[in-house]
Amino acid sequence: METGEPAQHSDLLALDRQLCFALAVASRSVIGAYKPILEPMGLTHPQYLVMLALWERDPRSLTELAEALRLEPATLSPLVKRLEAAGLVTRQRAAGDERQLAVTLTPEGRALRASAERVPPQVVAALGVDLDELTELHSRLTKIIERIAPLPA
């Protein structure tokens, strides 16, 4: 192929054919839609994910949270510290195992859930995509994630 010549559709390295590129752009776009919705709640998108996990089950050890969010504990720890500084969670050593750090919602953290219930419909509206289409996409991505990165048993 000569320089300046358009890439042929059969080019395996064409940018628009790369799954990683499509996922990266989609991810940035979707997370970007969350930003103005979460800002009034004082949360970033990663902090929102931590809060979602805690609203499902509270308290959780830092290890359990890391597994649920598929993050390394070292990545999760600064997020939890910022949530603690904001008064939404507390961190304390687990009574039965001093090595475990228990993360617990504060009353303010629990109360924030009521505001968070408005987030999903606002995100759907901001994306401008049919709910059935988003549900199908979520299902497909979840199946792929389970195949390539299953949770430890």
Query: How far is 48 from 52, CA to CA, in rounded Å?
Result: 6
Phi, psi of 121 (to 5 degrees): -65, -35
| Residue 137: half-sphere exposure toward Cβ, Cα within 13 Å | 11
Residue 116: name the closest of 54, 60, 59, 57 by CA: 54
H helix count then E strand count, the chain: 7, 3
Domain residue ranges of the chain, discontinuous segments joined by +: 17-148
pTM of the entire predicted model = 0.86
Identify the pLDDT of residue 1.
45
pLDDT digits (tens, 9 = 90+) for 64-80: 999 999 999 899 999 99
Is domain 17-148 classified as CATH 3.30.1330.60? no
Q: Which amino acid is at 121?
A: P
What residues form DSSP beta bridges with 60? 103
pLDDT digits (tens, 9 = 90+) for 8-63: 567 899 999 999 999 999 999 999 999 999 999 999 999 999 999 999 999 999 99
Token couple for 112 = 């924030």
